[in-house]
Amino acid sequence: MSSTEDLTAEKVKEFARKKGADLVGIASIDRFEGAPPHLHPAKTLLPTAKSVVVVAKRIPRGCYRGNLEGTNFTTYAFYGYFFQQHRYYMIRLDYEVARFLESYGYEAVPTQGLGLHFRIAAFAAGLGQIGWHNVFITPQFGPRVRFGIIATEAELEPDPLFEGKLCDPEDCGYRCVYECPNGAVPKNRKKTVNVAGKTIEFSDLDLTRCVPDCIRLTEHSPFIRREMERSPSLKEHINALYRELAARPPSQLASSLAMRRPPPLQPQPSPREIIDSLVDCYRMMKRHLGGPAYVFRGATGCMEACIQYLEESGKVPRYVYPFRRREPWRL
């Protein structure tokens, strides 16, 4: 075991980068004062926590190409979300950073969604800004990032908070609002949260619209209706899934920022209004992923519109070729 006197914030960051992190930020535990109990790392993960290390890996921009061109829809699901966040890449990175911290004699708890909110932790660690669409935005990659969190007893030097303005709804014309196929991002309803002495605002996202659209179980799916028409029992299965979703408390919804009250017990709109069809590829993804296909075309609208705006405005580094190169693909 290494000497406890040798550990520094820079050593933690250097190690995380060597293990594949594109971004690393550190928040002191006092920055979470005022957070709801179920989102405070010292109340949910590690009572003796003094610091929270937030690591991030970029989503390759090419993962969105299939969505944009109407070709390979599963690339984003595999490499931008499911394997990236839940099955392999981030989990392994969190684990390695926790091992490194404990090699210096400080207990560390890695987590992938339970007991803390990724976006709030990333803001507290100085990595960027929560956008109006509830997606976290960094100055390096825009919304193309996934996060991991490690709470630790080590007292590490925190990073300064991000003071820039990446998300500017007035300037971009609320693109995330108007481009969301299922109307999940409201223009005139917002939530306010106090984090690290700062007041931040974002839309009051309608999860009963967002999540069904994220996995394309809506009338907007490019694989419309056939599977649902052939098998009415599947429709009831999906209806039950969203009744369960709408009844979950915010602490169980990794994508929820509704921290002060649970979602309504009845979906708004009702599941039958939301779920008008079942995509053909749902069964295929369920077979390959071993469970429900929790992201199919989730980047449509909010993330794609955000990437386009940030690159156009020069707020994030530009690529050689533009993100959108023709009219958006539609069936």
> 319 is written with which tokens?
């690529």
Alpha carbons 252 and 115: distance in angstroms, whole number: 9
Q: With pLDDT > 70 as the criterion, what percentage of the chain qualifies?
A: 67
Q: What is the mean pLDDT of the chain?
A: 79
Between 34 and 122, the higher pLDDT residue: 122
Q: Report whether pLDDT(255) > 80.
A: no
Lowest mean per-residue pLDDT among 108-112, 147-151, 184-188, 221-225: 221-225
pLDDT average, residue stretch 265-289 = 43
- In this predicted structure, what is the pLDDT of residue 86? 57
Radius of gyration of the chain (CA): 20
Task: Return the closest-CA partner of residue 64 out of 51, 77, 45.
Answer: 77
pLDDT average, residue stretch 324-329 = 80
- In this predicted structure, what is the pLDDT of residue 87? 60
- In this predicted structure, what is the pLDDT of residue 254? 40
3 phi and psi angles, rounded to 5 deg: -70, 135
User: Where residue 2 falls among pLDDT bands split at 50, 70, 90?
Assistant: low
Task: Return the closest-CA partner of residue 311 out of 140, 126, 122.
Answer: 140
103 phi and psi angles, rounded to 5 deg: -65, -15
Q: Report whether pLDDT(175) > 80.
A: yes
pLDDT average, residue stretch 114-122 = 81
pLDDT, one tens digit per residue, over 279-316 is 444 444 455 444 444 455 667 788 999 999 999 999 99
- In this predicted structure, what is the pLDDT of residue 35? 78
pLDDT average, residue stretch 270-282 = 41
Contact 77, 291 (CB under 8 A): no
pLDDT average, residue stretch 146-167 = 96
Between 275 and 238, the higher pLDDT residue: 238
Alpha carbons 35 and 50: distance in angstroms, whole number: 15
- In this predicted structure, what is the pLDDT of residue 281? 44
Q: Report whether pLDDT(163) > 80.
A: yes
Task: Return the closest-CA partner of residue 210 out of 129, 122, 300.
Answer: 300
Alpha carbons 297 and 287: distance in angstroms, whole number: 18
- In this predicted structure, what is the pLDDT of residue 273? 41
Pairing of β 145-152 and β 108-111? antiparallel
- In this predicted structure, what is the pLDDT of residue 157? 98
Q: Report whether pLDDT(247) > 70.
A: no
Give me the residue spans of the domains in the chain. 9-312
